[in-house]
Amino acid sequence: MELKKKIQLKMRPKIIDLRKADGYAITDADLVVEQLRKDRKYTPDLMYRGFDGRRLEIMLQYGTDTPTSDEIYCGNEEELRNGGIEETECALAYALRHPVPALAIYDSSLLDRGQEKDRVFMDPSKKLEALVAVYLLKA
pLDDT for 125 equals: 94
Q: Is 101 exposed, middle or buried (0-12, 13-18, 19+ CB in 10 A)?
A: buried
Q: With contact defined as beta carbons under 8 Å apart, do 26 and 20 qualify?
A: yes
Q: What is residue 10's predicted lDDT score, i.e. its pLDDT?
A: 58
- Across 115-136, average pLDDT: 91
Please provide the average confidence, as pLDDT, over all residues in the chain. 88
Q: What's residue 7's pLDDT?
A: 45
pTM, two decimals, is: 0.87
The C-alpha atoms of residue 53 and residue 81 are separated, in whole angstroms, by: 21
The confidence score (pLDDT) of residue 44 equals 95
pLDDT recorded at residue 41: 96
37-71 per-position pLDDT tens digit: 999 999 999 999 999 999 999 999 999 999 999 99
Higher pLDDT, 3 or 25: 25
8 confidence band (pLDDT: 50, 70, 90) = very low
